[in-house]
Amino acid sequence: MTCHTGTALVLLLSLCGVPAAGAAAAASGATLDASTVEASPANAAFLAEVGAALQQSDAGDSLGAAITLDRLLVDPRMAQLEVAQRSDVWASAAMVSGAQKQDDIALQRLQQALAINPRNAYARLRLAWTQMVDGTPENAADNVILALADGEGQPDMSAEMVWQLDTDLKHLPAKRLAVLQGLFDREWKIDGIEPVELWSILAILQVEAGQTDKVAAALERIDAPIPLVRLRADKRFDRFLRRDDPRYDPVAAARRHIDRLRVDTMLSPGVNETAVELTSALMVAGELQEVVGMTAPIAEAAAAARSAPPEMARHIAWMLDTRSRAYRRLGKADDAVGAQLLAIRMADPAGDTVSQRLNLANLYAALHRPSMARETMQGLDNMSTYGRSTKAVIELQAALQLDDAAAASRAREQLFASRVETPGHYREALLLENRMDEAAAGLIVQLQDPMDRSDALLELQDTRDAPPLPEEVLLTARWKQLKQRADVQAAVRRVGRIESYPLFTF
């Protein structure tokens, strides 16, 4: 368990009214809840000791914090606490146990927290995370649904957790719908940004479940270009949106999205989620030179630094990643490689460089540098199904370029095993080897699937694309040939349509 203890610290301080001016800074960015519950002086002193231990853990001394909390959990004063307070102490102790890699103890303490107070949303969400790690997403979903019903305010769920759970629930539509509807109803956002891609998935699930009375509310919160391209391409949404309404025009939405984000960046300047979103929005709109200009100061600073400040690392890495894609689309491959190398160096100091390294490896493979692609991916493990599948596509490309039959066979096996979860990657592998009939059959199956259809239709739209790099020329030609096949065109007409947009899709 790797969750931070900062939220637990703030929660405890809010329960006992302990001053938190100094504590909030140590609380992993959490915000102090202004509401407090009166506590006796003895209870307040006890909770202050717990809070100090959590600060100690957040500062990096989880062992010292664990020793203190082990003592406090058997302290007679625990029995004097209110039910909610006792439950929160157990949940907080679980987080410190997780930081110590004592996962069994952490799980026991979360269960104890919930036995004391079944409506402890914080503990339930942490339990859900452990269940996701253990490979039981259906149990995790049940706990998330309960936590969303019992909690207040913004749910304490990271974007990583939400996206991973949504992926894991792909073949459990009822639970997936309940989770997304709960997040929607609680107005969950990613650092203030509407997760419009998730709301488009929610709208699809609502249509498939016959909850058509809820679709309008979901569409109301979708005002970004690519989700609107998805909806317009899908005939299921023809009755819910007017195609001649500027509100649902993806190009107009791209401009509105950029304008809103410009205002937000003025209100909240700096390297943050809003800045990352703005660079991505400019990329989608094709404002490539503006992306390069906006990220230039970050690139200059990164070039002179060994690492990024921990609190900014993820944002800096993703802005440099976007800079690399802009250079790639401008036909400046060497600059793209340089920006991607900087992105890797600036990424999470804890070691989460998976996305940036895969993107660099993909770039190397497209440039016919297979050995460098392989070297870049060495040691990459502990990835999601999508990450493993992405890696396998690149491994197949490298193996084909190097005439490495054994490596190609291993990559094919991985891609075949994950073809249901990542059909787009499997189709790309088939195109790499000119297996056109199989690629067409897979694409048609994807179009027929209610949940895979949206991704397939998005890929089929006529949108902007970068000039193909050397190893992409043949692949691009095969993809265009696949799109024009009569059987593929017929499958598209049954469920959707193909239109043209002067936008990049990512």
Compute the Cα dihedral for 167, 168, 173, 179 and give only its sign. negative
pLDDT at 349: 59
**Residue 381 in this model has a pLDDT that exceeds 80:** yes
Take residue 350 and report the two structure tokens written for it: 């804890």
Do residues 343 and 298 make contact, with C-beta atoms less than 8 angstroms apart?
A: no
Domain ranges in the chain are 1-117
pLDDT at 38: 55
> Using CA atoms, how far apart are residues 227 and 59, in angstroms rounded to an integer?
40
Q: Which of 183, 193, 243, 176 is nearest to 218 (CA)?
A: 183
**Residue 19 in this model has a pLDDT that exceeds 60:** no
Torsion of CA 118, 123, 125, 129, to 10 degrees: -120
3-state DSSP assignment of residue 462? strand
**Residue 7 in this model has a pLDDT that exceeds 90:** no
Contacts of 491 (CB under 8 A, 6+ apart): 443, 444, 447, 448
pLDDT at 277: 96
Torsion of CA 247, 251, 257, 262, to 10 degrees: -130
Average pLDDT over residues 335-345: 97
% of the chain exceeding 90 in pLDDT:
83
Do residues 340 and 379 make contact, with C-beta atoms less than 8 angstroms apart?
A: no
Contacts of 156 (CB under 8 A, 6+ apart): 7, 121, 122, 125
> Using CA atoms, how far apart are residues 233 and 152, in angstroms rounded to an integer?
37
Compute the Cα dihedral for 380, 5, 22, 49 and give only its sign. negative
Do residues 125 and 143 make contact, with C-beta atoms less than 8 angstroms apart?
A: yes
**Scanning the structure block, which residue is given the tokens 């998330």?**
144
Banded pLDDT at 15 (limits 50, 70, 90): very low
pLDDT at 27: 34
Do residues 12 and 51 make contact, with C-beta atoms less than 8 angstroms apart?
A: yes
Torsion of CA 501, 503, 505, 506, to 10 degrees: -170
**Residue 10 in this model has a pLDDT that exceeds 80:** no
Do residues 423 and 407 make contact, with C-beta atoms less than 8 angstroms apart?
A: no
**Residue 364 in this model has a pLDDT that exceeds 50:** yes
Tens-place pLDDT, residues 247-305: 999 999 999 999 999 999 999 999 999 999 999 999 999 999 999 999 999 999 999 99
Q: Tally the residues of the chain.
A: 506
Tens-place pLDDT, residues 41-54: 778 899 999 999 99
Distances in Å between the Cα of 94 and the Cα atoms of 7, 21, 36, 106, 144 are 13, 24, 23, 4, 18
Banded pLDDT at 375 (limits 50, 70, 90): very high
Phi, psi values for residue 343, rounded to 5°: -60, -40
Take residue 369 and report the two structure tokens written for it: 């540098």
> Using CA atoms, how far apart are residues 129 and 231, in angstroms rounded to an integer?
31
pLDDT at 42: 74
Banded pLDDT at 40 (limits 50, 70, 90): confident
Average pLDDT over residues 86-109: 93
Do residues 387 and 379 make contact, with C-beta atoms less than 8 angstroms apart?
A: no
> Using CA atoms, how far apart are residues 16 and 43, in angstroms rounded to an integer?
8
pLDDT at 382: 82
> Using CA atoms, how far apart are residues 42 and 85, in angstroms rounded to an integer?
13
**Residue 34 in this model has a pLDDT that exceeds 90:** no
3-state DSSP assignment of residue 470? helix
Q: Residues 89, 138, 382, CA angle at the centre, nearest 5°?
A: 80
> Using CA atoms, how far apart are residues 381 and 502, in angstroms rounded to an integer?
37
Do residues 44 and 18 make contact, with C-beta atoms less than 8 angstroms apart?
A: yes
Compute the Cα dihedral for 157, 163, 169, 175 and give only its sign. positive
Q: How many CB atoms sit inside 10 A of residue 17's CB?
A: 14
Contacts of 102 (CB under 8 A, 6+ apart): 66
Q: How many CB atoms sit inside 10 A of residue 266's CB?
A: 9
Tens-place pLDDT, residues 118-138: 999 999 999 999 999 899 999
**Residue 214 in this model has a pLDDT that exceeds 90:** yes
Take residue 346 and report the two structure tokens written for it: 């600036």
Average pLDDT over residues 219-236: 98
| Cα of 167 vs its chain's centroid, Å | 10
- What is the 3 state secondary structure string of 83-151? HHHHHHHHHHHHHHHHHCCCHHHHHHHHHHHHHHCCCCHHHHHHHHHHHHHCCCHHHHHHHHHHHHHHC
**Residue 439 in this model has a pLDDT that exceeds 60:** yes
Mean pLDDT across the chain, nearest whole number? 91
Regarding predicted confidence, which is higher, 462 or 11?
Answer: 462
Question: DSSP characters for 235-262?
Answer: GGGTTTS-TT-GGG-HHHHHHHHHHHHH
Average pLDDT over residues 63-84: 94
Do residues 141 and 164 make contact, with C-beta atoms less than 8 angstroms apart?
A: no
**Residue 13 in this model has a pLDDT that exceeds 60:** no
> Using CA atoms, how far apart are residues 412 and 374, in angstroms rounded to an integer?
16
Tens-place pLDDT, residues 155-188: 999 999 999 999 999 999 999 999 999 999 999 9
